[in-house]
Amino acid sequence: MLALAVFVSGRGSNLRAILESSKLKELVQVKVVVGDKLFCPAFDVAKNFSIPVYSVGNKEGFISFDDLRTIFEKLDINLIVLAGFLKMIPADFIKSFSNRIINIHPALLPSFGGSGMYGMNVHRAVFESSAQVSGASVHFVDESYDTGKIIAQKCVDISDVKSPEEIAERVLPVEHQLLANVIENIALGRVFVDNFRVRVEK
Ligand code: GRF
């Protein structure tokens, strides 16, 4: 069983997709959910599955990334999944989980990524660029926003959309599916990082 920590900031639909995925049931266990706020709707999703939640940050009532690392070491966390997590993670924390942190991004990287490119900002930029396809990307996390090696992507035709909201609606179910697929492949030991590329064995 792969021990997972899932980081969230919002409604938690990607978290729910992981928890409800039938193919992941035998392969992974979400041991902890971490947020950058004292409360967000994703915490309720975690609580419904009896998963402990932590708020990480510098303010009162939050735990530090150093304390979080200690908790993760005790829990033997194998993989960290950023599922709509908005806060920048400190470089030393990322280094201690090298190639063990993945992020879901609601567009086709390396376009439409980087600082400020989250949630509806992404879909608005995609809409205004007149791109005819969008999609979802799952990538390893490095020290800057959305630049880590891409593990998997899936395209969505958006040639007929009338609004950024419509793009978001089409991309979200693809995110859920893609993220579960990548976690499954990692759990089954099918994901390798070679020199420049990530290779997923079929
Ligand atoms: C998703 O679109 C995710 O890709 C993005 O933020 C959104 C989070 O949605 N970066 P949810 O909290 O998983 O419902």
Q: 195: pLDDT confidence band, cut at 50, 70 and 90?
A: confident
CATH number of the domain residue 82 falls in: 3.40.50.170
Can you give the residue range of the structural domain that contains 8? 2-200
| Residue-level pLDDT at 190 | 97
Pair 127, 159: CB distance under 8 Å: no
Q: Closest ligand 1 atom, CA of 41?
A: 12
The answer to whether the predicted template modeling score (pTM) of the entire model surpasses 0.85 is: yes
Q: What is the mean pLDDT of residues 96-111?
A: 97
Q: State how many domains the chain has.
A: 1
Token pair for 106: 């609601």
Ligand 1 close to Cβ of residue 83 (< 6 A): yes
Q: What is the pLDDT of residues 109-161, one digit of tens each?
A: 999 999 999 999 999 999 999 999 999 999 999 998 999 999 999 999 999 99
- CA-nearest residue for atom 8, ligand 1, is 84
Ligand 1 close to Cβ of residue 84 (< 6 A): yes
